[in-house]
């Protein structure tokens, strides 16, 4: 678990299914539009496939699917947030990601125990920014896909990836 002291700083805010999430800016390499995704057989259900970003092939993880929300078609607001953590580079697909915010460490509260148990290990905390609550993500936790079952490719899954 990350301490509050090390949790403050600059963040990029993402929207996923109507909620606001924050990713530490020092974990983000770039923001891109969602491009062509190539499905990967037997990948976890939240892995939309692989894509090429500036000549590098990276896996693309749908934050909607990762968090258990219904999938939605990608549009001009959808973003691939390219993160680098623990030696790997991955694209996180969000409904939008265009806002930057400074969040002081003392404004980030640990997630309530019941929320932490329900949401897995990918929440660092919760912050209040103006009139909205922001869920601060732990990128290594988001990318810990070991507990997510793989789904065989179906016509429905393939159609959702396009």
| Structure confidence by residue, pLDDT tens digits, 124-144 | 999 999 999 999 999 999 998
Q: What is the pLDDT of residues 27-43, one digit of tens each?
A: 999 999 999 999 999 99
Q: Write down all domains in the chain, each with its CATH number in brackets.
A: 4-161 (2.40.50.180)
Q: With contact defined as beta carbons under 8 Å apart, do 14 and 96 qualify? A: yes
Q: In the prediction, which pLDDT does 121 show?
A: 79
| Ranges of the chain with pLDDT below 70 | 1-8, 115-120, 146-162
pTM of the model: 0.83
The contacts of residue 145 (CB under 8 Å, 6+ apart) are 44, 46, 47, 61
Give the model's pLDDT for residue 77: 97
């Amino acid at each position: 678990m990350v301490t509050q002291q090390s949790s403050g700083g600059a963040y990029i805010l993402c929207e996923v299914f109507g909620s606001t999430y924050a990713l530490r800016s020092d974990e983000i390499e770039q923001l891109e539009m969602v491009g062509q995704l190539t499905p990967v057989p037997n990948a976890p259900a939240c892995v939309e496939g692989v894509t090429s970003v500036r000549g590098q092939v990276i896996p693309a993880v749908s934050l909607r699917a990762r968090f258990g929300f219904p999938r939605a078609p990608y549009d001009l607001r959808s973003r691939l947030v390219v993160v680098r953590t623990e030696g790997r580079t991955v694209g996180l697909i969000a409904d939008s990601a265009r806002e930057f915010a400074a969040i002081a460490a003392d404004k980030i509260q640990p997630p309530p125990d019941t929320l932490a148990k329900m949401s897995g290990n990918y929440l660092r905390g919760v912050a209040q920014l103006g009139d909205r609550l922001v869920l601060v993500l732990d990128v290594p936790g988001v990318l810990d896909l070991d507990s997510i079952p793989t789904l065989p490719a179906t016509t429905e899954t393939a159609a959702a990836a396009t």
